[in-house]
Every structure is written in structure tokens, then in C-alpha cells.
A and B are shown apart, each in its own frame.
Chain A
Amino acid sequence: MDNTIIIEKSVIILVVFAITMVMAMYSTLAERKIAAWLQDRIGPNRAGKGGILQPLADGLKLFSKEEFEPDTPNRFLFFVGPAVAMSTALMTSAVIPWGDHFHLFGRDIILQAADIDVALLYVFGVISVGVYGIMIGGWASNNKFSLMGAVRAASQMVSYEVAMGLSMIALLMMTGTLSLREISLQQSGMHWNVFYQPLSFLIFLICAFAETNRTPFDLAECESELIGGYHTEYSSMKMGFYLFAEYANMFISSTIIAVLFFGGYNYPGMSWMVENVGVNLANVIGIGVLFAKICFFIFFYMWVRWTIPRFRYDQLMNLGWRILIPLSIVNIMITGIVILRHEIAIFLGF
């Protein structure tokens, strides 16, 4: 391993980290703006031009707040909670292919921090660790509302992970690989997975809402019932970390939806662009296209939030266990039958 690859990867990691933070920061502004627009209001527009400095003002406010700790026997866990939530939210972005590759300084630079061949498993693993952030925080808060929020979050995330994983299996049967880079490459030329696996996409989307604790599945927080749930007792930047982790999670899950089902950085005519205009420019546009897709899904998250009211807890569990899981199993079977038919047809020489 030469030194250039270390520099190259460090640059990519730094850039990806910065982008994730900025996107999460501005998602908070976007949320407030979109909420306002959907309710025929204008939204924050006093800090900077059109409210562009609002996230900075919010951050500054959170930093200057009093650091409050409840009288809890688990002071260590109380600190660990937000840290786990934040770090898992930021770790997922390591395996996401932001573009195909650049050709710079006589070498191909793959636009991905780590191209591991179990990328999808890695993502699922990290996301399921994310629930510990909420659980630990809720437990250590020594508050009944927080504990309720934590219990709800844990059971919700565990049950929706099953359906999510099953919906992924149908996709994996088709792609035959867990590497997100491979999956992106396979989708070039408008062969987007959403056209082949619409049911899988729908299940994944619903589960993504549940996994990120967004409305209509925000039972872990639900201001009106649990006064904030697991982060009731948190203040200052620890609270900020929880909120920030939620937005970072939203960004990451939008990215994963875009990469898995909507072709990632691919856009119509990309191969033509690579041949005629150049690899670098074609990929710059590709990154732009990926971010456009991500922004659309972030918008979609917010759009749904201000449209659908929160589920009741038993409805949530019903939907997860009795509808989504059987549905994804049916989806797996249909996919299996189609693939098998295809293979038999090839075998018999049709």
C-alpha cells in the first residue's frame, strides 16, 4: 500500500464527514422551512438572508445552554447515549459510493471511503447499533417518560429491522452482491432497482421511516405523549447531538434509498458523457445527481411528516409484524420464482 492511497482516502473521509455534517445541519433549517411552507407560513427568515444562518444560531444557542444532569446512578451511560447515537449516525457514510471514479494525477480515484464487499451488512449492523444510543440515553435518564420512549424505540426498531432485512434479501437475490459500489454499477443505464423491485422499495421506505424515528413512526419521541421521549432529560449539546443524529440518520437513509433503488450516482446518458466529455465531468454531474436524489428523499421525509399523523403503538406493531414481514416474504418468493424461471429458460435454451 502506497502513501497516496492514504492521502486520497483521508481526503474523501474528511469531505464526506463535512458533507454529512453540513447536510444534517441544513436539514434542520429545511425541516423548519418546509414545515412552514406546508402550513402556509414563511418560516425562519431573520438569521441571515432567508434564514440561511439559522442552523448556526441554533447550534450556538444549544452550546450556550446550561448542562443539566439528572441525579442518576448511571452517569457514565448518560454521557455514552448521545455519543453512540452520533457516532453511529456518522459511521454509515463510509461505504456509500458518492460517484464512480475520478481520473486525476494519472490514477483512478474511487469516490468511496471504503469499498468493502459486505457494505450493505455493515450499514445494517451500524444502524442497529444506533438504537443503543436511544436505549442507553433513555435508561440512564432515570425518568419514566424517557424509559417509555427508549422501550418503544427499541421494540420498534427491532421489529422493523426484520422487515427491512427481508425486503433487502429480495433485492440481493437480484443483484447477487452486498457491495454498494457493485449495486450502483449494475444500475447504470436506467436499470434502476425500483423498476424491478417496487414492492421491496415500498417496504424498505416504510421501514426506513421507522428506523429513523420519523413521523408517522416517531413513537420514541412523540412530544405530545412522552414530552420528547428519550431526550427529555438532556440539555445543551447532548440534546443537540441527539437531534443532530436524527438528521444525520435521515440523510444517510435517504442516501441508501437513492443508492439501492434509484441508481445512486447514475443518470440517463452517463456512459455517453464518460466517452464524450470526460470521466471527471461526468462524475461531477453524477455526484450532483446523487445529491439531488438524496435531497428529494429528505424532502419526502419532511413532506410525509407534515401529512400523516402518528401511528398508535398497536397499529405500528401490527403493521410491522403482520403486514410488512409476510409481504416481504411473499416478495422474496416471487423474486425467487422469477429468477428460477429465467434460469430454467436459459438452461433449456429458450
Chain B
Amino acid sequence: MSIETISLSGRKKQVSNKEMTFLERLYLVAIVKGLIITLKHLFSRKVTIQYPEQVRTMSPVYRGQHMLKRDEQGRENCTACGLCALSCPAEAITMKAAERKPNEKHLYREEKYAEIYEINMLRCIFCGLCEEACPKDAIYLTTSKLLVPSSYEREDFIFGKDKLVMPLEMAIKNTELKKAN
């Protein structure tokens, strides 16, 4: 087998410039064949998803909006180490660290915490590398179907801790579920 005729995909077709027969030159046979193909499609299953009524099922590895986790006692996991910001290919994450005060032990798990934690949702590409980089299991990309809402102001797309940190009720519910199990 010469190198020109090898077809690794099995789909390679040799082009032939052979003279067409009279029947082929009439094109009528080809047109009828084409018509039969399109007619088959007339009766085939339609692929349209009627959006507001039907919603496409998300992929099991779907990555939605970020969430900063709390532990069982409702304390924030994040220690503002900055690994997520470092790993972020879109440079969407910024943060400012602060030291925990003695009376804040119920709020933050370790001595250092993120005073400001911001993700620019216009820059974020939802790749999930921050989640992989995090040593404290603090940041996660959720399966939430809630998309970033549209807005007229760029500032509205910079999500601070108010939008990112897991709500307390959710943390309480999670703890209760864990206890029940």
C-alpha cells in the first residue's frame, strides 16, 4: 500500500475524474436521490429544545458559579493563601488577607482569612482551576443553574464575599445532614 492511499480514519475517498455516463450527466437520478434523503429528514425526530418550557439537562461535570465554603461549625475555610488567584488563567480573582481577631474565632477557621475576596465574572472562564488549586477546600464551582445576571455596570460583575460565601442557612443544613448520616 503506498502512502497516498493509506486512510487512518477510513473515511478517505479517492477522487476520480472519470467521464460521467449519460445517465449520470442527466442528474435526474442524483436529484431524486437527494429528494429521498431530504424526505427522510421530514419524518425524523426533531432536535429542537423548546427552551422556556424544556430545559436542556446539564452535563454531570457542569461548572457553575463559585462558592466559598464554610465548615461544619459555620466558619469560613478560606485562609487567603492566594493559590486560586495564582492558578487562575484569566486573572479573575483578587483578595486581601487579614488577621483573625480573638473574638472572631467562630467566623474564620484559621488565623488568617480573606478580608476581601473578589471574582470578576466578566473575566472568569469557569475552568475550575481555582477549585483544584485550593488546599483548604474553600472554593468550589457549584452545579447551580443560576447564571451571572446581565447588567449595565461593569462593577456589578465583580462578585465580592457577599455573593460568594456560602449562606449560613446552607451551612447549618449541611451540618444537620451530616449528623443525620
In contact, B41 and A37 (Cβ under 8 angstroms): yes
By a CB distance below 8 angstroms, the chain B residues around A14 are: none
Q: Is the CB of A42 within 8 A of B50?
A: yes
Chain B residues with Cβ below 8 Å from A281 are none
Q: How far is the CA of A38 from the CA of B38 in the complex (A)?
A: 6
What does DSSP make chain B's interface, helix, strand, loop or mixed? Answer: helix
- The verdict on A314 contacting chain B, using a C-beta distance below 8 Å, is no
- What is the chain A residue whose CB lies nearest that of B41? A38
Q: A37-B41, A37-B42 are in contact. Are A42 and B48 (CB under 8 A)?
A: yes
B45: chain A residues within 8 A (beta carbon): 40
Please determine whether B47 and A306 come into contact, CB atoms closer than 8 angstroms: no
A303 at the interface (CB under 8 A from B): yes
B44 at the interface (CB under 8 A from A): yes
**Chain A residues numbered 287-327 whose CB sits less than 8 Å from any CB in chain B:** 303-304, 306-308
Known: A307-B31, A308-B31. A41 touches B46 (CB 8 A): yes
The yes or no answer to B90 lying at the interface (CB within 8 A) is no
Contact of B46 among A42, A303, A306, A307 (CB under 8 A): A42
* Nearest B residue to A39, CB-CB: B41
Residues of chain B lying within 8 A (CB to CB) of residue A306? 38
B38 partner residues in chain A, CB cutoff 8 A: 38, 303, 306-307
The docked-state distance in angstroms from the alpha carbon of A297 to that of B37 is: 18
With most chain A CB atoms within 10 A of its CB, the pick from B38, B46, B50 is B38
Q: Which residues of A contact B50 (CB under 8 A)?
A: 42
A216 — nearest CB in chain B belongs to which residue? B31
Taking the closest CB of chain A, its distance from the CB of B4, in whole angstroms, is: 30
Q: Given A37-B42, A40-B41, A307 and B34 touching (CB < 8 A)? A: yes
Highest count of chain B CB atoms <10 Å: which of A37, A41, A307? A307
Which chain A positions have C-beta within 8 A of B41? 37-40
Count chain A residues whose beta carbon lies closer than 8 angstroms to a beta carbon of B. Answer: 12
Give the CA-CA distance A34 to B38 in the complex, in Å.
11
A308 vs B37: C-alpha distance in the bound complex, in angstroms?
11
- List A169-206 residues whose CB lies under 8 Å from chain B: none
B-side contacts of A34, CB under 8 Å:
42
A41–B31 CA distance with the chains assembled, in angstroms: 23
A residues less than 8 Å from B35 (CB atoms): 303-304, 307
Residues 39-61 of A contacting B (Cβ, < 8 Å): 39-42
Residues in A neighbouring B37, C-beta threshold 8 A? 307
Q: Measured between alpha carbons, how far is A36 from B48 in the docked complex, in Å?
A: 10
Say whether B58 faces chain A, with CB atoms less than 8 Å apart.
no
Distance A37 CA – B50 CA, assembled complex (angstroms): 15
- Residues of chain B within 8 A (CB-CB) of A303 are 35, 38-39
Q: CB distance B48 to A38 under 8 Å?
A: no
- Bound together, the chains give a CA A37 to CA B38 distance in angstroms of 9
Closest residue of chain B to A41, judged by CB?
Answer: B48
Q: Smallest CB–CB gap between B135 and chain A, Å?
A: 49
Interface membership of chain A positions 228-239, coded 1 if the CB is closer than 8 angstroms to chain B and 0 otherwise:
000000000000
Residues of A within 8 A of B31 (CB): 307-308
**Given A307-B31, A308-B31, A40:B46 Cβ within 8 A:** yes
Chain B residues closer than 8 Å to A40, beta-carbon distance: 41, 44-48
With both beta carbons as reference points, the residue of chain B lying nearest to A305 in the complex is identified as B38
Docked complex Cα distance between A70 and B46 (Å): 42
Bound state CA distance, A103 and B48, in angstroms?
50
Contact residues in A for B47 (Cβ distance below 8 Å): 40-41
Closest A residue by C-beta to B49: A42
**Shortest Cβ distance from residue B26 to the other chain A in the assembled complex, whole angstroms:** 9
Complex Cα distance, B37 from A37, in Å, reads 13
* Cβ-closest chain B residue relative to A304: B35
A306 to B39, CA, bound (A): 10
When C-beta atoms are compared, the residue in chain A nearest to B34 turns out to be A307
- For B39, the chain A residues whose CB sits under 8 A away are 303
Mask: chain B, 87-100; 1 = CB below 8 Å from A; 0 = not: 00000000000000
Closest B residue to A319 using CB positions: B27
Interface flags, A78-118, vs B, CB<8A=1, else 0: 00000000000000000000000000000000000000000
Which 5 pairs show the lowest CB-CB distances between chains A and B? A42-B48, A307-B38, A307-B34, A37-B42, A38-B38
A-B contact pairs, 27 of them (CB 8 A): A37-B41, A37-B42, A37-B46, A38-B38, A38-B42, A39-B41, A40-B41, A40-B44, A40-B45, A40-B46, A40-B47, A40-B48, A41-B46, A41-B47, A42-B46, A42-B50, A303-B35, A303-B38, A304-B35, A306-B38, A307-B31, A307-B34, A307-B35, A307-B37, A307-B38, A308-B31, A308-B34
13 further A-B contacts with Cβ under 8 Å, apart from A38-B41, A40-B44, A42-B50, are A37-B41, A37-B42, A37-B46, A40-B46, A40-B47, A41-B48, A42-B46, A42-B48, A303-B35, A303-B38, A303-B39, A307-B37, A308-B31
Chain B residues in the interface with A (C-beta under 8 A): 31, 34-35, 37-39, 41-42, 44-48, 50
> What is A's interface to B at a CB cutoff of 8 Å?
34, 37-42, 303-304, 306-308
